[in-house]
Amino acid sequence: MRTRALLSVLGLLVLTLACVLVAPLAIAWFYDSEEVVAAFLWSIGICTASGGFLYLANWGQHRDLGSREGFAVVGLGWAVLSAFAALPFWLSPSGIPNYLDAYFEAMSGFTTTGATILVDIEALPNALLFWRSLTQWLGGMGIVVLTVAILPFLGAGGYQMVRAEVPGPTADKLAPRIARTAIILWGVYFLLTLIETLMLWPVMGLFDAACHSFSTMATGGFSTKNASIAQFNSVYIEVVITVFMLLAGANIVLHYRAIFGKGVLYRADSEFRFYATMVVVATTLITLFLWLGTFPAAETDPERYGTISQCFRLAAFQVGAIGTGTGFVTADFDHWPNACRVILVLLMVIGGCAGSTAGGVKCIRILTLLKYGLREVRRLVRPHAVLPLKIGGETIDREIIARVMGFLALWLVVFVLAVLLMAVIIEPTAVPEAGSTPQGVSAEGVDGSIEDDALITAVGSVLAAIGNIGPGLGGVGPLENYEDIPDLGKLVLILLMLMGRLEIYAVLVLFIPLTWRR
């Protein structure tokens, strides 16, 4: 491991963050008190001093990056950047007084998870609300990709970093130079964000429109309102956000090619067809279950579930929000029929397309797994036949198949171990004291069982964190938050959010001794 090269690039990342913090500083100057302005000034100063020291102390070492350094930069970079991004929340008098909670919020933002410890979101100053959404927007496309775009002198090392950060089994290279590819990706991302902001501006106001556009295109889910998108109760807003959530869940390379006429259209891409089919089928099924089913929410609020059009409105939005990992809510889906909840859980696991900002294991991996399974069934009938694995008419290399299977196996192992750990952490709080209802326990419980509700909370929190979803089930459902999760549980979820966004490998390599050997 070339440690000095690693420290040099980490310094550059922190300096990039210092520059980005100027935007919320301007918002604080315009909207908020002097104390909030001072919090951002201190944060910028600390970032500048720390990043400058790391870079200058290792001057000229950034060009000496290999694959190990690239993965280490991404894994450590996101953890370090979240630590600095938490400073405005922590230093502001009206922010988040507990640093661990501030770090949780920052990591949730950068990883586009959208899980929050805030009880009253609207009590935050505008600058902090803007910063929450901006962290998601930066994390959606990737702060490392942004750094490579504005600092092209990173050269070949930049490719190693982008390869480790971009989600999916492979990283598309749109131009011979990786810096040019990074600029293209960020350009398309910015253009879609701008279009959505302009469409929402007339009905939400510029500030809310910008914040929600940042969260939508990043599939993050941070809102400026306590009730999320339900606060607006607007069909127009829900339609616009649903469309852009679904666009954000697709491979951004497809958008680039569609906008600039560079070849493959959406319908010709196998993964996109799988993704679109999944959305249509899930929306249809949930609409029918809501319309035909009997459940408490339908009885207490018959107007929202009384017609098939209303049920379609709720279903389409939540499928878009959960399927892409955005996590916006317009209804308490944790109290929908069990069949609906099962479908939403499946969507949490699958997620969006590779090369998108969406969470989950990605559609291309699920498609590869299904094709692989069907091929093995055919081999039982024709054991000596040569049956290449093809997707979209193209043969998939064995290396990519092995990478996909390895990732799915790791994901499953991490998920099971994390659920076990969270169940142990939450369990002590599962027995309420007189007159109290702790995290993980609802007033009604699940089937009247406190223990069942605690287990559902453990499973829901892990799935929401590693899938970068935000709202989960049980005590961390769509109308709940993560405030009362024990500190150890928050640390576990922070690690899971990072592993979910960086797709496990870039985090696990940090714990392998071979990574750090010279």
Q: What is the pLDDT of residues 285-308, one digit of tens each?
A: 999 999 988 887 777 777 788 889
Mean pLDDT of 304-320: 93
* Of 169 and 60, the one with more pLDDT: 60
Report pLDDT digits (tens) over 271-286.
999 999 999 999 999 9
* Of 427 and 39, the one with more pLDDT: 39
- Which residues touch 487 (CB under 8 Å, ≥6 apart)? 100
Decide if pLDDT at 153 tops 50. Answer: no
pTM value is 0.89
Taking the CA atoms of 123, 124, 126 and 132 in sequence, report the sign of the dihedral they define.
negative
Taking the CA atoms of 221, 227, 232 and 235 in sequence, report the sign of the dihedral they define.
positive
What are the distances in angstroms from CA 444 to CA 60, 227, 299, 309, 448? 61, 22, 17, 30, 6
Decide if pLDDT at 174 tops 80. Answer: no
Q: How many CB atoms lie within 10 A of CB 357?
A: 30
CA atoms within 13 A on the CB side of 249: 36
Decide if pLDDT at 462 tops 90. Answer: yes
